[in-house]
């Protein structure tokens, strides 16, 4: 896990890139003037605001992150269709359940991303992260954390945990190298 970039003037490369494209999209143009303005804003805003923000882990493998994003988008589409079928089917057949997924990730930012992808993908909504942060004392080794998720149609608990860990957690570990 790395928190600092190689260049001091560019604390958050991904955020800068995002800011650049958001500015262009908001103005709906790619004229020279807007390109220059977007570049200036993308460089200056993260630089000015970086002292206010807590340092977050950097994306170390951007290409892998992009591929993971495409995979998640694909899963969102299939998730929508699956959940639509489950919703329209009879209620009695559904077997809801709570599942605890043990996490290998330790930092809160990758965990947040994992929880969000779990919420957007088939039949699962993330509910809680255990243990709460308040449980930690300074300097103590972080405890094993769990992600509590609610499943709409729980068939095989272990298979579900394995899918989440392999499909969503392993790439995140690779991307942030933590």
Binding site residues, another protein, CB under 8 A? 22, 25-26, 28, 76-77, 79-80, 83-84, 86-88, 91, 94-100, 115-117, 119-120, 123, 125-128, 130-132, 134-135, 148, 150, 152, 154, 157
Q: How far is the CB of 149 from another protein (least distance, A)?
A: 9
- Which secondary-structure segment (H or E) carries 128? strand 124-130
Angle, vertex CA 164, rays to CA 163 and CA 165, nearest 5:
90
Question: In terms of CB distance, is 47 or 94 closer to another protein?
Answer: 94
Q: Which is nearer to another protein, 24 or 64 (CB)?
A: 24
* CA pair distance 146, 99, nearest whole angstrom: 10
Q: Which is nearer to another protein, 54 or 91 (CB)?
A: 91
Residue 164 CB contacts under 8 Å (≥ 6 apart), including other chains: 101, 118, 124, 149
Minimum separation from the CB atom of position 4 to another protein (A):
25
**Contact indicator for 82, 122 with CB cutoff of 8 Å:** yes
CA-to-CA dists, residue 14 to 20, 56, 176, angstroms: 10, 11, 13
Side-chain half-sphere of 21: how many Cα atoms within 13 Å?
5
CB of 80 to another protein, least distance (A): 4
Residue placing its CB nearer to another protein in the complex, 47 or 107: 107
Q: How far is the CB of 70 from another protein (least distance, A)?
A: 13
């Amino acid at each position: 896990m790395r928190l600092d970039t190689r260049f001091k003037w560019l604390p958050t490369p991904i955020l800068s890139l995002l800011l650049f494209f958001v500015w262009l999209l908001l103005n709906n143009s790619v004229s020279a003037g807007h390109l220059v303005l977007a570049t200036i804003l993308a460089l200056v805003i993260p630089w000015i605001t970086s002292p206010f923000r807590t340092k977050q882990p950097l994306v170390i493998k951007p290409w892998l992150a992009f591929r993971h994003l495409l995979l998640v988008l694909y899963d969102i589409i299939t998730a929508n269709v699956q959940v639509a079928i489950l919703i329209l089917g009879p209620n009695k057949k559904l077997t809801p359940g709570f599942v605890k997924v043990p996490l290998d990730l330790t930092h809160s930012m990758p965990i947040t991303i994992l929880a969000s992808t779990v919420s957007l993908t088939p039949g699962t909504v993330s509910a809680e992260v255990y243990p709460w942060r308040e449980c930690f004392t300074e300097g103590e080794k972080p405890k094993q954390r769990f992600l509590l998720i609610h499943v709409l149609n729980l068939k095989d608990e272990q298979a579900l945990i394995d899918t989440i860990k392999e499909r969503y957690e392993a790439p995140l570990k690779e991307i942030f190298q933590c």
